[in-house]
Homo-oligomer: A and B are copies of this chain.
Amino acid sequence: MEIAILIYDKLAALDAVGPYEVMRNVPGWDVRTVAKEVGEVRTEDGSLALVADYSLDQVMATDLLLVPGGRGSRGLMQDEQLLQWLRDVDRTTKWTTSVCTGSLLLGAAGLLQGKRATGNWLVLDPLREFGADPVGGRWVEDGKILTAAGVTAGIDMALHLVAVEAGPEVAQAVQLGLEYDPDPPFDSGSPEKAPAEIVAAVRAFAAANS
């Protein structure tokens, strides 16, 4: 399985690195990082750089495409070169996937037309603009399109993909290797579970910083 992870300036690193760590631990799966240009891209606040080993024109086909989210996705929604690349590569994939606001990029490329899809809980409604049917859930599968909710949901989505493609035993082994037995100190990970005042504060912060 050949996997291409798109990275770009102002991405959320964990959107990419969560699924990366799951998938690169599967025997025979090869992961490549792709960006508009080879070299460094920086996270939302600039404090961490990841390196793209390939440019868009070097990766015209892949078995699995993963598009992470992050504040930088907004600017890319009008980037016709990138959107055309997403369309072209999607024609070659077995799976086209996204994490968090990465689904907005798939939508902007026209790949979510008539599809059920998810993404960051704060930006589900905008998926309608692209003809998608936004739904909740940790990840949503509609044909070969697999979209995950915010940031950490990419880890769960990737384990699902490993189970489907390599079998549940391999997925369980990878989960154990990553000691993914989550035990967050609070139960505040979704707007349904978090205290109302926390949800309001995060909404306000996102609105002020969007």
Contacts and interface: CB of A to CB of B under 8 A. Distances in A.
B175 A188 contact: yes
A158 to B, nearest CB: 10
Provide the main secondary structure of the chain A interface: mixed
A159 interface: yes
Interface string A27-52: 00011110000001001010111110
Interface in A167-192: 168-169, 171-173, 175-186, 188-191
Interface of A: 12-14, 17-18, 20-21, 24, 30-33, 40, 43, 45, 47-51, 53, 100, 120-121, 138, 149-153, 155-156, 159-160, 163, 168-169, 171-173, 175-186, 188-191, 193-195, 197-199, 201-202, 205-206
